[in-house]
Amino acid sequence: MTSATVPLLDDDTIPFGEEDEMRDPGVAAKKYTHPYVTFFHLFFRGAAIAIYMFCGWFSESFITSFVFVVLFLSADFWTVKNISGRLLVGLRWWNYVDDDGKSHWVFESKNSESYQSRINKHEQRIFWLGLILCPVFWSLFFLVALFSLKFKWLLLVMIAIALNAANLYGYIKCSYGTGKDLNSAATDFVKTQLFKNAVDMMTKQSAAAPPPTNVRPTGVV
């Protein structure tokens, strides 16, 4: 199932994968081609975690803390699903209901070489790190709330895990296709990221190593 016959929005004037067609070629040389999108990709989910951790310093009201955390989680879910995934890594997942009332899930990925060459590697790394690390934090909060018997906070953490996990699952499906199950896709993703990090580390070390100098032997007659 593709979005060719079922568009995401009726006013989707810029087709999926063509967001950067009119971009100035000189922009590709910048370290971050979408700085604001990259910022908000991390801001909303980071703010939700920070409010959850430090809300007791500013307010003793559980309702106030609950509302603010859910608001930032909702903003993060919408931003990551509809904006940052599309612009930073060329992925998109969405759902529609056909005329028969049946729900369909669509997972899209722009894998063409021309498009992949335009993806900023710094932004791509930030996208996946934020997508993976935040559910890890919320999982830790879940264990803490569970063992400390704070059941009202447990509900909030479960909402956060559900929203973060939905985006993570959707983008793994987009990246590795719907033919694999989640476990194999996640394993392949971890292996790929470890390999890329190892190659980057070796490349940086070789680039930083000083070039060999020719030293003439002394005391030769």
More confident residue, 186 or 93: 93
109 or 129, which is more confident? 129
The tokens describing 157, both together, are 């953490």
Q: State the angle between helix axes of 121-147 and 35-58 in degrees (0 to 180), rounded to the nearest 10.
A: 20
Q: Is the pLDDT of residue 143 over 90?
A: yes
Asked, for residue 63, whether it belongs to a domain, the answer is yes
- Listed in sequence order, the DSSP H helices in the chain are 35-58, 62-79, 85-88, 113-116, 121-147, 151-176, 182-208
**Would residue 207 count as lying in a domain?**
no
pLDDT of the residue at 198: 59
In this predicted structure, the answer to whether residue 86 has a pLDDT above a threshold of 60 is: yes
**Residues 201-220: tens digit of each pLDDT:** 566 555 555 555 555 555 54
Q: Is residue 170 part of a domain?
A: yes
Range of the domain at 65: 22-195
pLDDT for the residue 144: 94
Residues belonging to the chain = 221
Q: Would residue 115 count as lying in a domain? A: yes
Residue 93 falls within a domain, yes or no?
A: yes
pLDDT at 9: 41
Contacts of 46 (CB under 8 A, 6+ apart): 134
* Residue 202 domain flag: no
Helix (H, G, I), strand (E, B) or coil at 26: helix
Please check whether residue 200 lies inside any domain of the structure. no
Cβ neighbours around 44 below 10 Å, total: 21
State the total domains in the chain: 1
Cα–Cα distance, 193 to 183 (Å, whole number): 15
- Structural contact between residues 121 and 33, judged by C-beta atoms closer than 8 angstroms: no
Best mean pLDDT range from 18-27, 137-146, 191-200:
137-146
- Under 8 Å between Cβ of 188 and 179: no
Residue 203 lies in a domain: no
